[in-house]
Structure 1
Amino acid sequence: MLTSGLLLGAAASHEGINTGDIVFQLLMFIILMALLKKYAWGPLMGIMKQREEYVAGEITAAENSRKEAEKLLEEQRNLLKEARTEAQNLIENAKKQGDVQREEIIAAARAEAERLKEGAKLEIEQQKERAVAAIREQVAHLSVLIASKVIEKELSAEDQDKLINEYIQEAGDIR
């Protein structure tokens, strides 16, 4: 029995929980974790933290750039709208100015035409008066001539008609 007890004790020692090994392994695991934390996790977490801060900064910068771009886009839209409004106003003013100038030109042309018409009427009237005066002068001259011829000779009715026709002929030739 003794041998069987020994065998059982040896088997039990191999089969049982070896607390020394467990404590040693646990101690090694804790030391390994401390070393990993100090030399691996610390720097790795520092790098990850820096990367996180960098990405957050880039996101913030991108958001700020987007907001600035939207602000500039809105300003450009407003400026474009103002420019279009101003261009439309300039076009309308130019049309109004053109209409005013056209009316002024038409009024000036009408006034000039009326002035020329009045001038032509005046000249026609003057020419008419000169022509009437010339005719009167010729009639007076012819009357004097006829009277002097009549006085020179006593004429019959037939001679009178002949003489009048001659003087009318002469008057026509003089003209």
Structure 2
Amino acid sequence: MNFVPSSFFITLIAFGILYLLLKKYAFGPLFGMMEQRRTHITEQILQAEQSRKAAEQLIAEQKEAIHNARNEAKEIIEQARVTSSKQADELIGQAKAEASRIKEEALRDIENEKNKAVAALRSQVSAMSVLIASKIIEKQVDEKSQEQLIEHYLKEVGGKL
């Protein structure tokens, strides 16, 4: 292989012209497309990062909302429990008061009926006593007959009671 300077310079010039042509028509658009692609990928990476951050924020908000909903549900359940307990206590108190009132009325009715029975009994005993006395006066019997008559009327009064 011999070194020929003219071939070397012609090759060098041809290579320079080819390089300038490639730079103007091939490398420029190729590097432009590569730059656009790099910019596009960078934007997509930034968008993906923003989307990931937004998703994390939404997840955190949802967790907080779920936590709040659970706390509210617990509070509602506790309030319902307290309310039902109060209502049950009120109902029991009302039932006890009603039972006491009915019991007192029954005791008063019993006492009234007892008083009426005693009054009726006294009235009957008085009437019987008067009747016995009048029969005794009418009959003017001896002591033995009088005792028999009194026992008879006492038995009669005892049978009516």
- Would the TM-score normalized by the shorter structure come out above 0.5? yes
Which TM-score band applies after superposition, normalised by the shorter structure? over 0.9
Larger Rg computed on CA atoms:
1
Match of 2:83 in 1: 97
The CA deviation string for residues 6-26 of structure 1, in whole angstroms up to 9 with x for no partner, is: xxxxxxxxx642111000001
Matches within 5 A, 1:17-166: 17-166=3-152
Shift of 1:38: 1.5
- SS in structure 2 at match of 1:41: helix
Match of 1:167 in 2: 153
| Unaligned 5+ runs, structure 1 | 1-14
**TM-score computed with the length of structure 1 as normaliser:** 0.87
CA distance in 2 between partners of 1:31 and 1:155 (Å): 178
CA distance in 2 between partners of 1:107 and 1:157 (Å): 66
The CA deviation string for residues 29-63 of structure 1, in whole angstroms up to 9 with x for no partner, is: 11111111112111111111111111111111111
Shift of 1:166: 2.1
Tell me the amino acid that sits aligned with residue 63 of structure 2: R
Structure with more relative contact order (C-alpha pairs < 8 Å, separation 6 or more): 2
CA distance in 2 between partners of 1:68 and 1:78 (Å): 15
**CA RMSD, 1 decimal:** 1.4
CA distance in 1 between partners of 2:21 and 2:45 (Å): 34
**TM-score computed with the length of structure 2 as normaliser:** 0.94
